[in-house]
Amino acid sequence: MVKNEADILGQTIDHLRRQGVDGVLVVDNGSTDGTGELLRERADGAFLFTGDDREPAYFQAPKMQFLSQWAARQGADWIVPFDADEWWFGSEGSLVETLRASTTPIAAAVIHNVFPEPGSSGAVASGWRIDTNPARLEKVAYRPHLLAALHHGNHGVSRPGRVSQSLRILHVPWRSEQQFRSKIANGAAALRLAGPRGAGAGVDHWRDLDDESVDELREIWRDMLEGHGHPKLEWSPTGDLRPVTLASWSREWDPDKVLGA
């Protein structure tokens, strides 16, 4: 389920192919940046399946549940509920090799966020830095099951069976100041259409940030690039930020041992 992710979605689809997945399903939620056109150009009905999501409100969990059930009906052995800004890996070996070797029906993925280098401007970052601390939240892949219910944000799934922490995600949530501000505005608008504010920390982080002024958002952006977190920013630096070359992460998790041995 994507909206205005044309700057990264093609790379994510290519990454999933390199990781060995058999098929990818993406629905576009009214993008205005060329995302829909990109999907239509690349859809082949064999590897990449696409559709249109015409519901503007942010009903993330039920929409992803619907897509996951579609994949299960097509005979998927595993469901990998990815976002456009996530590159999934196995902790050792490719994503598919790790899942096929799994002895549990649920595989949790540890997330490491990546942020643009300080001084990045315009639509493309001048370089990238990875947070050495894993993110507060994890995500999951799972084997289909009649009772499976995917949680909000793909952070968990209710189904019988044990969980193994065998996957990793390279997450690139913020790519430019323009994309940062657009993501906040679009997310807040979709949340308002979905209903009143949710309860709990981080549930409405887009709407919380949308309350900030343009100058305050610019300050949050600059502080983030310097490695400083913000209480309203869910995907925020928490550890040391180390330079990383994204192109080298095409197949293997942490190929340059940036995060350590």
Enter the tokens of residue 108: 């949790």
Q: pLDDT (tens digit, 9 = 90+) per residue, 180-191?
A: 999 999 999 999
Residue 223 lies in a domain: yes
Closest-CA residue to 85 (of 143, 159, 135): 135
Residue 107, token pair as written in the block: 């595989």
60: left (phi over 0), alpha (psi -120 to 50) or beta: alpha
Tell me what pLDDT residue 201 has: 45
- Contacts for 72 with CB less than 8 Å, ≥ 6 apart: 79, 144, 148
Residue 239: both structure tokens together = 């550890």
Instruction: Answer yes or no: is pLDDT of 257 > 80.
Output: yes
Alpha carbon distances (Å) from 44 to 29, 146, 259: 20, 28, 37
How far apart are alpha carbons 75 and 78 in whole angstroms?
A: 9
4 in any annotated domain: no
Give pLDDT, residue 197: 75
* Number of domains the chain is built from: 1
- Model pLDDT for residues 189-224, shown as the tens digit of each residue: 999 999 987 655 455 788 999 999 999 999 999 999
Q: Is position 224 within any domain? A: yes
Q: Does 207 fall in a domain?
A: yes
Model pLDDT, residue 205 = 85
Q: CB within 8 A of 64, min separation 6: which ones?
A: 1, 81, 150, 154
Kindly report, residue by residue over 19-69, the tens digit of the pLDDT: 999 999 999 999 999 999 999 999 999 999 999 999 999 999 999 999 999
Does 198 map to a domain? yes
Count CB atoms within 10 A of the CB of residue 184: 23
- Residue 33: partners with Cβ closer than 8 Å, 6 or more residues away: 4, 5, 6, 7
Range of the structural domain that residue 231 is part of: 177-237
pLDDT of the residue at 191 = 93
Supply the pTM of this predicted model.
0.95
Residue 228 domain-assigned (yes or no): yes
- In this predicted structure, the answer to whether residue 169 has a pLDDT above a threshold of 70 is yes
The alpha carbon of residue 235 and the mean position of all alpha carbons in its chain are separated, in whole angstroms, by: 11
- Does 102 fall in a domain? no
* Residue 197 within any structural domain of the chain: yes
